[in-house]
């Protein structure tokens, strides 16, 4: 029920009761609350079995810095939404979950509607999976194969073993920075918030019933799958200076900010003007030199290197830079104000052009997207073949909980970086976000023609389900067919060294870490498409992960290569051998989802190309060095 301000005293008494009777202690007890919290640490530490009452919501002003003083949170579900783990919802029903969470740290709300989340959420959870969960995309998987992909639900680790009577029992842990008390694989540590009807909503997705009473505040997360019950109790920071700095409205904080901003602004303007003059002179000199050698101020890109090696780009994409010196069109297109949940309709479209040096004109994007929900509506093909990528359409339902629905466009402004003084955006993709053409692409490899793929991705933002792919797929996502794509992440089938993510090959009905067929030397009698562990395949949990996939039918061979862009001087060949299955390229292009629209994984795409032909190691290295010269950094 709702509690109005006239009875805030009752709310304070209720919260005091929660602190002293029901909630577990954390390490962030502020002065004045430590006694009552520490007195019940043993009770709260009982985990999921203890009673954790929900907050009686009353709303209130949340602006300020709040320290978590205690928490008591239970998780439960008898039919868990398993889609984020990439399992088949038609087969994987009645998944059970039970456990508890504990929260510590600080949460800050600013008066301008932004927040900073400095909290840590920890916990232990038990998950029960019925036997049907082991059937996925036409193949049988093992309980041990599910442990990694369960991270898609927000678990830091999971150990799944075969249960009596079939199915799996999984013991999972939660260790999450940000995304306060909300089980998620993508916790946010800053963003926007709103308050309405006694509910605080962060980033338009995570909701908390809340009540502010004096210097105390309580929350109950309103998650539904799993259901969360209980409270997080906060005490407002007693440091007035901190409140002012975070924009809580204090006179001291405002005055300090104004004074500092004024001084810094003057100094910065003067310094910038001086640096601007110097840079301008250098720029003029550089332009003159460039003009003498070509006139555009741009250098060769990967497609120029591939063309010189007689393996031309068939499709090439990047929001960061042009991949061909000859390409002069826009890099990508954005949509402001989609009318259909960002599924590719409505709103207003704007092409994002290049500046003379080839970097995107992000100032145009920022002005167009100001104060709106803005998404990437199309990736333009830099190869000159016009294989432009719009949002992907629905596929088969057994590819995951959302695969039978159209995909979403990705946010246009989440992957910001500075490269060589230029502000750029990468393609930051969440689950159920993907791009695809549903026709045979112009000059795309088809049939048994050889093909090469390279991709640069963020190895710190990777999915744990099926399938974050880039490459050659069927024109019909509602049918199974051969595919020839480079996969990045952690999935149910092949594995490499360490815990991932890995660059692997998705040829449909499995993801390959290496190998050719049963009895392949060095592998033993293993199934063609399941449970392969390739110790030569390195984990790439790095900011800039580079991967190569090459395939050909005559002679039958595929090559898997990768490197850490920032530290490597050469590329590792993790596997080279005969194809594990015949290849029949169909010629459509996909990014971020599987051939059947399996769309439960996620990642960040910087750049990549599909080429006609089978590139050499020397060409691969030239591409790698070309990318290194860009100066990717963040």
CB 72 within 8 A of CB 230: yes
How far is Cα 499 from Cα 478, in angstroms, rounded to an integer? 32
Q: What is the side-by-side order of every strand in the sheet holding 502-506?
A: 435-436, 588-591, 469-473, 484-489, 502-506, 511-512
> Which residues are registered as beta bridge partners of 110?
none
Considering only CA atoms, which of 73, 4, 19 is closest in space to residue 216?
Answer: 19
DSSP category for residue 75: E
Distances (CA, A) of 187 to 177, 341, 461: 7, 21, 11
CA separation (Å) from 517 to 398, 443, 520, 525, 530?
26, 30, 6, 8, 11
* C-alpha triplet 416, 422, 425: angle, nearest 5°: 25
In DSSP notation, 216-280 reads EEEEEE--BTTEEEEEEEEEE---HHHHHHTT---HHHHHHHHHHHHHHHHHHHHHHHHHHHHHH
What is each CA distance from 122 to 28, 97, 189, 202, in whole angstroms? 14, 16, 15, 20
Which token pair is 424? 């750029």
Nearest to 581 by CA among 17, 82, 139: 139
Active site residue ranges: 508, 596
Report the candidate in 495, 387, 481 with the shortest Cα–Cα distance to residue 441.
387
> In angstroms, what CA-CA distances link 568 with 111, 393, 575, 629?
45, 37, 18, 13
176, with CB counted inside 10 A (0-12, 13-18, 19+), is buried
SS3 3: coil
Strand, coil or helix: 35 = helix
């Amino acid at each position: 029920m709702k509690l109005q301000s006239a009875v805030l005293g009752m709310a304070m008494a209720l919260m005091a009761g929660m602190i002293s009777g029901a909630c577990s202690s954390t390490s962030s007890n502020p002065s004045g609350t430590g006694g009552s919290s520490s007195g019940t640490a043993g009770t709260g530490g009982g985990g999921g079995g203890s009673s954790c009452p929900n907050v009686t919501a009353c709303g209130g002003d949340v602006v300020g810095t709040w320290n978590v003083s205690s928490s008591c949170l239970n998780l439960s579900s008898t039919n868990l939404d398993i889609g984020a783990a990439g399992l088949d919802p038609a087969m994987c029903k009645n998944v059970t979950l039970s456990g508890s969470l504990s929260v510590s740290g600080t949460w800050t709300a600013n008066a301008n509607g932004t927040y900073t989340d400095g909290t840590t959420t920890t916990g232990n959870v038990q998950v029960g999976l019925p036997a049907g969960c082991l059937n996925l995309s036409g193949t049988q998987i093992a309980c041990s194969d599910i442990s990694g992909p369960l991270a898609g639900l927000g678990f830091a680790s999971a150990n799944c073993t075969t249960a009596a009577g079939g199915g799996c029992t999984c013991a999972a842990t939660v260790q999450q920075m940000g995304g306060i008390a909300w089980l998620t694989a993508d916790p946010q540590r800053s963003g926007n918030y709103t308050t309405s009807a006694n509910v605080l909503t962060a980033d338009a997705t995570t909701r908390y019933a809340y009540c502010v009473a004096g210097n105390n505040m309580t929350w109950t997360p309103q998650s539904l799958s799993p259901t969360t019950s209980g409270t997080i109790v906060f005490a407002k920071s007693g440091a007035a200076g901190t409140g002012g700095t975070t924009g809580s409205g204090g006179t001291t904080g405002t005055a300090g900010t104004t004074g500092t901003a004024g001084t810094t602004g003057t100094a910065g303007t003067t310094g910038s003007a001086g640096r601007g003059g110097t840079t301008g002179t250098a720029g003029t000199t550089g332009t003159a030199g460039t003009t003498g050698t070509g006139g555009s101020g741009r250098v060769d890109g990967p497609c120029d290197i591939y063309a010189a090696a007689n393996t031309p780009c068939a499709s090439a994409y990047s929001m960061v830079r042009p991949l061909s010196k000859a390409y002069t069109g826009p890099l990508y297109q954005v949509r402001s104000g989609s009318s259909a949940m960002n599924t590719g309709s409505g709103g207003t479209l704007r092409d994002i052009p290049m500046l003379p040096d080839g970097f995107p004109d992000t100032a145009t994007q920022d002005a167009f997207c100001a104060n709106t929900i803005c998404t990437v509506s199309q990736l333009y093909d830099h190869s000159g073949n016009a294989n432009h990528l719009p949002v992907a359409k629905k596929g088969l339902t057994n590819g995951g909980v959302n695969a039978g629905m159209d995909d979403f466009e990705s946010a246009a402004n989440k992957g910001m970086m500075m490269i060589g003084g230029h502000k750029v955006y990468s393609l930051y993709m969440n689950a159920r976000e993907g791009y695809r053409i549903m026709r045979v692409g112009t000059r795309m490899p088809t049939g048994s023609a050889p093909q090469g793929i390279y991709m640069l991705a963020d190895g710190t933002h990777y999915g744990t389900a099926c399938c974050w792919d880039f490459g050659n797929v069927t024109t019909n996502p509602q049918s199974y067919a051969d595919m020839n794509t480079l996969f990045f992440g952690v999935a149910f089938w092949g594995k490499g060294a360490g815990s991932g993510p890995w660059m692997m090959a998705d040829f449909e009905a499995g993801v390959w870490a290496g190998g050719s067929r049963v009895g392949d030397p060095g592998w033993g009698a293993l199934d063609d498409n399941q449970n392969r562990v390739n110790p030569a395949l390195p984990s790439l949990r790095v900011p800039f992960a580079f991967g190569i996939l090459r395939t050909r039918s005559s002679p039958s061979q595929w090559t898997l290569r990768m490197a850490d862009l920032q530290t490597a001087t050469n590329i590792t060949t993790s596997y080279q051998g005969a194809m594990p299955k015949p290849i029949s390229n169909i010629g459509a292009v996909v990014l971020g989802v599987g051939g059947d629209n399996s769309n439960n994984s996620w990642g960040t795409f910087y750049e990549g190309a599909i080429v006609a032909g089978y590139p050499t190691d020397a060409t691969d290295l030239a591409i790698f060095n070309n990318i290194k010269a860009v100066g990717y950094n963040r």
